[in-house]
Structure formats: structure tokens, C-alpha cells
């Protein structure tokens, strides 16, 4: 075969081809023929390109037919891991005392994790764990410091090898002590075998009792005492309150169920369609602050933009708590939070409602509230001039509806996302773990202590107490690691944060002062 530099693939002489084609097109006037030729040329080139590309990229399998048959099929994906559940194991014979089962899974040390992704960092309020434990950072926690808290404690908690032992000293108000113990048991069902041995004292009363001023002298060491709230002058160690597992005396559900219901209530009425006033319902007899708040209620002489309602829990109990459902109280654009004798468990329910929370200047803090900011999560209200402050807040919100709605939703999002039950357990876990690191003694089971487990508590209960315990029972260990505890505040960082909080509050006070000065209402 002779070669020609003008020959392309298949040995065609393309110069002659195109020359002949041009000659033919000159001899005919048929446009249809021209189109057919061009289409033929286009599809010929496309076909050749596809054939060559497939040939180059096609994987060649050189194995014989018998080898192909002997190759194993790819393994199917593993089925999703189902965590084993541990329901209550109550004795069927009611004449015998309920004891803890021998196969108590709290001693499990390595439950299987299905989520191996790195644990996320805990919310910012976890940083206050370091601040609450700072008084014992240099000295550690000695047995004398634990025993020093006994005079006000309601009970002692001892955890050894994943088992819980309780030494009771006195009865608390209502069933606070019972549901606090229950919450600790659920923590150990949630994270079985993960807590170190420890020993602590717990006080279920309202106000803090360890003033920092008494322990400023060198060598003086404060007692180590856990409770539900503290203040800027106290050294009490703050711990989640009992109502996260249900508040039987007020028919309030465990936190998971309560927040689910409140979310449903939030969807019933859009924010801008809600009543454009500030709402509060509660018992005013617990403190003069609340009695003073009632002076701000609407009257025939004046309207402070508030709608305040009295709550009589005895009457509500008789009527089946028909007017006490938390999800039914998300009807106003603004909701008021005010402390009682000390802090109030109502704060988390108020914040969860999507309404802009009007927070009367508090004296006390819970474990999660110290990371919240005014104008971000809530609107600050002056304690010494509540009525005027409330009226201005509502007027401002109704004139800046988008901003007021954003504050309400940010506070609600903080509660539903950063205070979900998983984070409550994580806070308990990290607080107790960091506390245990400070212990300078070996925890021991007191002679009068009893072993406590979920069965020993729930199986003997009846009515709403049993119902709430069953609802809040953690039936399976968590299949994820706890969130990662953030480092403590740098001193400058903490100073800047507290300064920002104070400046935002002053900003609101300046707006309010100008409001009343420029146009007295």
C-alpha cells in the first residue's frame, strides 16, 4: 500500500474528497444534498471518537471464566447497630423489697459507639464549669471540705465502680431530692461506666449558702457543696435542677417531652399574630419582687403593656392543670421572667416560647444562663422600675417587630438546641468528672448509705411520680461520646465578655431613659 501525507484514517484522501464534494455542489442546486453530506460527515467523526475513547478506557479483565466464577461477591453493608435496651426490672412480687438487679449495666465500661466522628465542642456555658471549680484548683477537694458541707446538705452521693450509693440527711421541699437522685441515675444509664469514683454533698434548697467573702483569707478552704443555683458572691457548685426529669407537683413533663410540646405550641400562632403585650403567669406569694410586679398589671387607670395572671397550684391540681400546659402559653409576643425566693425553674420554659423574654434583673444564675446576652437572647428589665421598663420594652418591640422577633427566636433556639437533654447530661458528666479530678481522698461508702438504682426508685412509686420516672428513664446508653469540654476562660476573655454583657444592658437603659425623658407617657 502506498502512503500519502494527505491520507487520513481509513486511507481516504481528504483533499480529493473535499475537492470532489465542492465540484459536485457547484453542479447542483439541491440544498438537501448539502445538508445530508454535512450530517454524514459529522456523525462519522463522532462515531470514530466514541469508539476510540471506549477502547482506551475499557477495563480489560484477563481472568478466565473459571476464575471469574470463583471471585467472591462484595460483602453487603453491615446492618445498623441496635443498642441494647435496659427497661425497668421490677419485682412481680410486691411483698418483697425491690433490689438492684445483679446484671446492672451501669458497670459497662466500653459501650459500642456507632458515631465515630469527632465529638463537637460543648456550648459556651460549659466554660463556667472551670469557674465554679476554681476555688479548689490549687488545694483540691479534701474529705474535710466535703464533710464541711454536710450541715446544710440533703444527701450525699457516692459513685464507686459505676454504682450509686446515697446517704440521706433530711427531706427536701416536695420531691426535689428524689428527682435529683433520679437524674444522677439516668446520667449513669446514659454514660455507663464512664464516670470516675467520686463523693459529693447536695443541697436542694433555693439560695446559695457558701459566701465567698468568708474564704478570702489565705489557707481558708470553702466546703464543696452542689445545688441548683448560685450568685456572684457564692461558691456553691451549680447543677441541673430536678425538673429536667419532671416536676410532679406541678404536672410538668420531663424536659425532652416538655420542649417537644412547646415546639408544637410555637407553631400554632406566628410571632406577629401573637398578642402584642407582655405575659406572666405565676405565684406572687413567694417573694416581694413578684408582688411588686403585680402593680404593673393593666387597670382601668393605666396600661403598662402587661397581662399578668395569678397561678394557684392547689386549684390547678383540683382542675387537672387545664390552665397550666406550657405549650398553651406561647400566645404573646413577650413573656416576663422574674425570680421568686431565688431562681425559678420557669426560666427555661419561658425562653423556649419564641416570644421575646423580658428578663427582670436577676440575682441568681442557673448553670446555663451565664452565657446568655441581652439584646441577643433576651431583653433586660430594671428591677427598681419594673412597670416603666416593661412598658418601654413592649413599645420598642412593637415598633421594631423584626428585631424583637429575632431576639425571641434566638433565645428560644438557645434553649432548644444548646440546652437539649443530651447537653444537660454532658454538662453533668463534665462537671462531675472535673470535680472528681480535684478529689484528694478515696471515696468510700458510708455505713448508713443505701445502693440506689432506677429499679429501687421507680418500682415502688405510683401515680404521676412513677409516670414521670418511666418517661425520663434512659433505656439505652448513648452511642456517641460526650461533647468536648471547652477550655476555661482566659482572664481577659472573661473580662471582655462580662463587659459586653454590661454594655448591652446599659444601652437598653439609655434608650429607656431617653424614651421617658423625651416623651413622658
CA distance 348 to 332: 16
Q: What percent of the chain has pLDDT over 90?
A: 71
Q: Which of 46-60, 172-186, 381-395, 472-486 has the least mean pLDDT?
A: 46-60
- When pLDDT is averaged across residues 263-272 and rounded to a whole number, the result is 96
Question: Please, what is the Cα angle at 327 between 322 and 330, to 5 degrees?
Answer: 115
The answer to whether residues 126 and 482 touch, using CB atoms and an 8 Å cutoff, is no
Is pLDDT at 7 greater than 60 in this prediction? no
Letter string b/e over residues 74-89, b meaning 16 or more CB atoms within 10 A of that residue's CB: eeeeeeeeeeeebebb
Is pLDDT at 87 greater than 60 in this prediction? yes
Is pLDDT at 4 greater than 50 in this prediction? no
Rounded to the nearest integer, the mean pLDDT of the chain is: 87
Coil vs helix vs strand at 518: helix
Is pLDDT at 2 greater than 50 in this prediction? no
How is residue 40 annotated by DSSP?
A: H
The answer to whether residues 415 and 355 touch, using CB atoms and an 8 Å cutoff, is no
Say what the pLDDT of residue 228 is: 98
Which has more confidence, 19 or 242?
242
Phi-psi region of 162 (alpha: psi -120 to 50; beta: other; left: phi over 0): left
Q: Which of 5-9, 63-67, 227-231, 244-248 has the least mean pLDDT?
A: 5-9
Give the HSE-up count for residue 303: Cα atoms under 13 Å, Cβ half-sphere. Answer: 7
Say what the pLDDT of residue 301 is: 87
Beta strands in 322-462 (DSSP E): 332-337, 356-360, 364-365, 379-381, 450-452
- When pLDDT is averaged across residues 495-512 and rounded to a whole number, the result is 98
Q: Rounded to an integer, what is the distance from CA 173 to the centroid of its chain?
A: 27
CA distance 369 to 389: 21
Q: Which residues are registered as beta bridge partners of 234? A: 211
- When pLDDT is averaged across residues 389-405 and rounded to a whole number, the result is 98
pLDDT digits (tens, 9 = 90+) for 343-363: 999 999 999 999 999 999 999
Say what the pLDDT of residue 17 is: 47
CA distance 257 to 252: 9
Greatest CA separation found in the chain?
Answer: 119
How far from each other are the two terminal CA atoms of the chain, in whole angstroms?
A: 109
- When pLDDT is averaged across residues 361-374 and rounded to a whole number, the result is 98
Burial of residue 274, with CB atoms counted within 10 A of its CB: 0-12 exposed, 13-18 middle, 19 or more buried? buried
Nearest partner of 125 among 423, 491, 434, 416, judged by Cα: 423
Nearest partner of 374 among 390, 353, 386, 358, judged by Cα: 358
CA distance 327 to 316: 16
CA distance 2 to 14: 15
Q: Which of 122-131, 210-219, 491-500 has the least mean pLDDT?
A: 210-219
Coil vs helix vs strand at 443: coil
Total-model pTM? 0.83
Say what the pLDDT of residue 58 is: 45
Neighbours of 425 (CB within 10 A): 23
CA distance 220 to 211: 13
- When pLDDT is averaged across residues 122-129 and rounded to a whole number, the result is 98
CA distance 459 to 425: 23
Say what the pLDDT of residue 8 is: 45
Is pLDDT at 487 greater than 90 in this prediction? yes
Say what the pLDDT of residue 100 is: 85
Sheet holding 450-452, edge to edge: 237-238, 225-227, 198-202, 155-160, 163-168, 450-452
Which has more confidence, 110 or 287?
287
Nearest partner of 307 among 432, 394, 214, 184, judged by Cα: 394
How is residue 378 annotated by DSSP?
A: B
pLDDT digits (tens, 9 = 90+) for 11-61: 445 455 445 545 544 444 455 555 565 666 666 665 555 555 444 444 444
CA distance 34 to 29: 9
Q: Which residues are registered as beta bridge partners of 160? A: 163
- When pLDDT is averaged across residues 114-140 and rounded to a whole number, the result is 91
The answer to whether residues 127 and 488 touch, using CB atoms and an 8 Å cutoff, is yes
Say what the pLDDT of residue 25 is: 47
Say what the pLDDT of residue 92 is: 77
- When pLDDT is averaged across residues 447-469 and rounded to a whole number, the result is 94
Which has more confidence, 330 or 91?
330
Say what the pLDDT of residue 35 is: 56
pLDDT digits (tens, 9 = 90+) for 318-352: 788 877 899 999 999 999 999 999 999 999 999 99
- When pLDDT is averaged across residues 135-164 and rounded to a whole number, the result is 96
CA distance 423 to 329: 25
Amino acid at each position: 500500500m502506498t502512503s500519502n501525507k494527505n491520507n487520513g484514517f481509513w486511507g481516504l484522501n481528504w483533499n480529493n474528497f473535499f475537492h470532489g464534494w465542492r465540484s459536485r455542489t457547484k453542479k447542483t442546486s439541491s440544498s438537501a444534498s448539502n445538508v445530508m453530506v454535512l450530517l454524514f460527515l459529522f456523525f462519522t467523526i463522532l462515531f470514530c471518537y466514541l469508539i476510540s475513547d471506549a477502547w482506551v478506557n475499557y477495563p480489560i479483565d484477563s481472568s478466565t471464566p473459571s476464575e471469574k466464577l470463583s471471585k467472591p461477591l462484595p460483602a453487603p453493608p453491615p446492618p445498623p447497630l441496635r443498642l441494647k435496651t435496659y427497661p425497668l426490672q421490677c419485682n412481680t412480687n410486691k411483698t418483697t423489697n425491690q433490689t438492684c438487679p445483679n446484671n446492672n449495666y451501669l458497670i459497662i465500661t466500653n459501650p459500642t459507639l456507632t458515631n465515630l466522628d469527632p465529638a463537637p465542642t460543648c456550648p459556651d456555658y460549659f466554660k463556667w464549669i472551670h469557674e465554679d471549680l476554681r476555688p479548689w484548683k490549687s488545694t483540691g477537694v479534701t474529705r474535710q471540705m466535703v464533710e464541711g458541707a454536710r450541715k446544710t446538705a440533703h444527701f450525699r452521693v457516692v459513685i464507686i465502680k459505676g454504682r450509686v450509693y446515697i446517704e440521706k440527711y433530711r427531706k427536701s421541699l416536695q420531691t426535689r431530692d428524689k428527682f435529683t437522685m433520679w437524674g444522677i441515675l439516668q446520667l449513669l444509664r446514659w454514660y455507663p461506666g464512664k464516670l470516675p469514683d467520686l463523693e459529693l454533698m447536695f443541697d436542694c434548697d433555693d439560695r446559695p449558702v457558701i459566701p465567698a467573702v468568708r474564704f478570702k483569707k489565705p489557707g481558708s478552704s470553702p466546703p464543696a457543696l452542689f445545688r441548683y443555683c448560685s450568685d456572684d458572691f457564692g461558691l456553691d457548685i451549680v447543677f441541673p435542677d430536678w425538673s429536667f426529669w419532671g416536676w410532679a407537683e406541678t404536672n410538668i413533663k420531663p424536659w425532652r417531652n416538655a420542649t417537644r410540646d412547646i415546639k408544637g405550641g410555637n407553631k400554632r400562632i406566628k410571632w406577629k399574630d401573637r398578642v402584642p403585650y407582655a405575659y406572666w403567669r405565676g405565684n406572687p406569694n413567694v417573694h416581694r419582687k413578684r408582688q411588686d410586679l403585680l402593680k404593673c398589671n393593666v387597670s382601668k387607670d393605666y396600661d403598662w403593656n402587661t397581662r399578668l395572671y395569678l397561678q394557684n397550684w392547689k386549684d390547678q391540681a383540683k382542675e387537672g392543670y387545664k390552665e397550666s400546659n406550657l405549650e398553651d402559653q406561647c400566645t404573646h409576643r413577650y413573656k416576663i421572667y422574674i425570680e421568686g425566693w431565688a431562681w425559678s425553674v420557669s426560666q427555661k420554659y419561658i425562653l423556649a416560647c419564641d416570644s421575646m423574654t423580658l428578663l427582670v434583673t436577676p440575682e441568681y444564675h442557673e448553670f446555663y444562663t451565664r452565657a446568655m446576652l441581652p439584646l441577643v437572647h433576651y431583653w433586660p428589665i430594671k428591677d427598681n422600675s419594673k412597670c416603666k421598663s416593661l412598658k418601654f420594652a413592649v413599645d420598642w418591640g412593637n415598633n421594631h417587630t423584626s428585631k424583637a422577633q429575632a431576639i425571641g427566636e434566638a433565645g428560644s433556639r438557645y434553649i432548644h438546641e444548646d440546652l437539649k437533654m443530651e447537653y444537660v447530661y454532658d454538662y453533668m458528666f463534665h462537671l462531675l468528672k472535673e470535680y472528681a479530678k480535684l478529689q484528694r481522698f478515696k471515696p468510700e461508702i458510708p455505713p448508713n448509705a443505701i445502693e440506689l438504682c432506677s429499679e429501687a426508685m421507680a418500682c415502688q412509686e405510683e401515680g404521676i411520680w412513677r409516670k414521670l420516672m418511666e418517661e425520663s428513664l434512659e433505656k439505652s446508653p448513648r452511642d456517641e461520646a460526650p461533647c468536648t469540654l471547652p477550655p476555661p476562660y482566659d482572664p481577659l476573655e472573661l473580662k471582655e465578655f462580662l463587659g459586653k454583657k454590661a454594655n448591652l444592658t446599659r444601652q437598653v437603659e439609655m434608650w429607656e431613659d431617653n424614651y421617658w425623658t423625651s416623651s413622658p407617657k
